[in-house]
Structure 1
């Protein structure tokens, strides 16, 4: 932590509290109003200790006041949380999240039917068409509004699979794997990696049951996406290499997906050469993508898809100027309809600008990203904005840093 608690000091300055004395007075006033307790007082001496090398841990009611006044819990303000500390709001949030996860997970674990039913082959096409609609809705709505809908349709597909036979059964397994993959993605975008990993596992199981090599490769790339978010570069590479083991049998689209994801793994271990080689090899396959599979079509649907991956990898490698230049080109081609993806790209662009020592540019780009983040509440976007905030650390005390704090306030207040 060094010789002072910079996180608390930065939060104080963002709040406009220029001195320790002013901060102690304002927090005391805030606490008295919030708690309806005129005896709530934080002294300047206490605040100085908080900004020192060993800030200790505030009483629980003070922690609540700090959270309400500064938009951060103490553990995010440089304090060291004691064993057993649970945020007051987390108890309720965890219970809600647990109930939602149990409810949605039940779609994957429902017992088999006791009475079989006729399954019309036309249902395969119906579910494929619905899937494309879900992909489009995801771009507009974000994850939270779709998880229940998509998982309920997966449950219906799974029920039909248990009655279907022959090629109809295999067709339903293939489309069911695509639905499970989408549920996994929605959870990943919502920031719940445990649920995402569960549904990626369901995807892989059904892909193997379908005996479709393309779908099995796709399911391994899905697993690698979770490993990327966990920062496990070697795990990403292992899974992508496994997906490419029989690359001669795979559609170009699946090979592109595996190569670009492997590039993310390479960026996590600091291997720029491998990043460029993998993205370049994937680029050479784009013109050969001609399958009619309903899943994994981001490389066709997203303008500049592979350059988006390269820019993301460059940002992760700390190549600020190269990443900033690429993002500027990519964003020109992203349509307004891809709103959530655009928000993620804008946040990454802003971070790259900060790494390139262009803080004013970073703040300007961040404005548009925050507007989209407030609408979608995508955890992926919020995570990118938190990365931006860290990258802007050198300018915390400067006017541009305070301007960024004001821009980020709407998302920080709800985080």
Structure 2
């Protein structure tokens, strides 16, 4: 090459008609950006940059070029020197490290800690808190609770290190339940990496507690993350492993069967979906344990039909899924805002699949209000799925109505 065409094209794109004009403009831009009146680029330097051997600018100049032209030097024809790392990558690494520490700090406390006396009644205390946290999750959504539960788990872990005997086993069991709930909150918030981390913590503690029910529960929790990742085979593997242990209580078997049905729907196997949910339905009346965790199958109205409708929607069975959602939503209390919003979004997608776009938009308007209120990433993902299902009507008035309805959650994203 006889000249640096990439830099020349970028210069002309922003209206700098000559090397002299570019040098003056970049100098002014850099002095304002860096708050440094000594920053300067000469016309001679700019001409060299547009020549066959442009060299490499200083880090400050690289920042100014990027801010003025929207590209880093390596994208402007400069030859990248060894070891160059864009400043934005340093910032990304800092942000990622901060986020990782925020996720892992409550679970990974360095020890040893000072021993203390642990009263066995603390196990009951933490168990009694769980039901309130589950209710708050349904009412508030994930973001407000993550900051509360992390420190509580940290305290449980601290006490576990000093406890002995049955008190220690009890704290391990309740600690696993707290870790599972934190994992769910991150999953609902859309952070699957953090969710997978906390699911791993749940499994570790379940094995330490040597509790077959809790181990099965932990595997089903991991299968939930695999469902969100679209890994049908992984979901089936984990659920079959949970069901292999004949000792687990009926509640775990119900949870594993319904989650395996989700895996089957990802694998496009409707027959397996129906068989698994029907089998879970036969076992559901046997759920009578007093374990404080994993009680959604008792607490959620129409729990198994919710799962069937979700699987049908994933399979593209619009009319059948829509009919099921109408039955389910009739029984869901208005106070369960977050769950209701997720179900309605799935209902809207089923309506679109059933060629009822007007109904889909009507439902979506209420879902958007709930999504804004609860900040549930899961609900937003469901609305993205709805948007895809409505593409056949993109240019029609009903498509424009949907875009207007979704604006509060799509603007700025």
Length-normalised TM-score, structure 2? 0.77
- Per the alignment, residue 413 of structure 1 pairs with 411
In the alignment, does 2:143 pair up with 1:121?
Answer: no
Instruction: Measure, in 1, the Cα distance between the counterparts of 2:371 and 2:68.
Output: 30
Cα distance in 2 for partners of 1:61, 1:386 equals 34
* Separation of aligned partners in 2, 1:241 and 1:372: 35
Q: Kindly tell me: are residues 370 and 114 of structure 1, through their superposed partners in 2, closer, same or farther at Cα, counting changes over 3 Å? A: closer
* SS across alignment from 1:284: helix
How much does 1:104 deviate? 3.4
Mapped partners of 2:226, 2:335: distance in 1: 28
Aligned counterpart for 1:341 among listed residues 339, 349, 352: 339
Quote the residue 2:181 is aligned against.
182
Distance 1:94 1:163 in 2: 36
Structure 1 ranges of 4+ moved more than 6 A = 59-63, 90-94
Residues in 2 aligned to 1:405 and 1:376: alpha-carbon distance in whole angstroms: 20
Match of 1:154 in 2: 153
Q: Deviations over 1:311-360 (max 9, x none)?
A: 00000001011000000110000001111000000000000000000001
Mean Cα deviation higher: 232-241 or 142-151: 142-151
Query: Are 1:314 and 2:312 counterparts?
Result: yes
Tell me the CA shift for residue 238 of structure 1.
0.3
Q: Equivalent residue for 1:384? A: 382
- Cα distance in 2 for residues equivalent to 1:62 and 1:279: 57
Do residues 249 (structure 1) and 247 (structure 2) align?
Answer: yes
Residue 137 of structure 1 pairs with residue 133 of structure 2: no
Unaligned segments of structure 1, at least 5 residues: 1-58, 64-85
Contact 1:139 1:340 in 2 (8 A): yes
Structure 1 residues 211-360: aligned runs within 5 Å:
211-246=210-245, 248-360=246-358
Aligned length: 333
Distance 2:398 2:223 in 1: 37
SS in 2 for 1:285: helix
Report the Cα distance in structure 2 between the residues aligned to 1:216 and 1:94, rounded to whole angstroms. Answer: 35
When residues 201 and 258 of structure 1 are mapped into structure 2, their CA distance, relative to the original with a 3 A threshold, is same
Distance 1:299 1:217 in 2: 15
Structure 2 Cα separation of the partners of residues 242 and 344 of structure 1: 29
Larger Rg: 2
- Shift of residue 258 of structure 1? 0.2
Aligned to 1:364: 362
Using the alignment, how far apart are the partners of 1:203 and 1:286 within structure 2?
Answer: 24
In structure 2, C-alpha distance between the alignment counterparts of 1:316 and 1:188, rounded to whole Å? 19
What runs of 5+ residues in structure 2 fail to find an aligned partner?
1-65, 71-85
- Alpha-carbon distance between aligned partners in 2 of 1:256 and 1:94, rounded to the nearest angstrom: 42
CA deviation map 1:93-127 (0-9, x unaligned): 98656524412311111022442100001101110
TM-score between both structures, scaled by the size of structure 1: 0.77
Q: Is contact 1:112–1:159 with CA below 8 Å preserved after alignment? A: no
Give the structure 2 partner of residue 17 of structure 1.
none
Deviation at 1:60, TM superposition (A): 9.0
Question: Structure 1: how far apart are the matches of 2:260 and 2:115?
Answer: 43
Alignment RMSD: 2.1
Report the Cα distance in structure 2 between the residues aligned to 1:209 and 1:322, rounded to whole angstroms. 44
Q: Tell me if structure 2 keeps the 8 A contact 1:140–1:340.
A: yes
Question: 1:55-114: CA deviations, max 9, x gaps?
Answer: xxxx99999xxxxxxxxxxxxxxxxxxxxxx9x9x9989865652441231111102244
Higher relative contact order (CA 8 A, sep 6+): 1
Mapped contact 2:113–2:158 kept (Cα < 8 A) = no
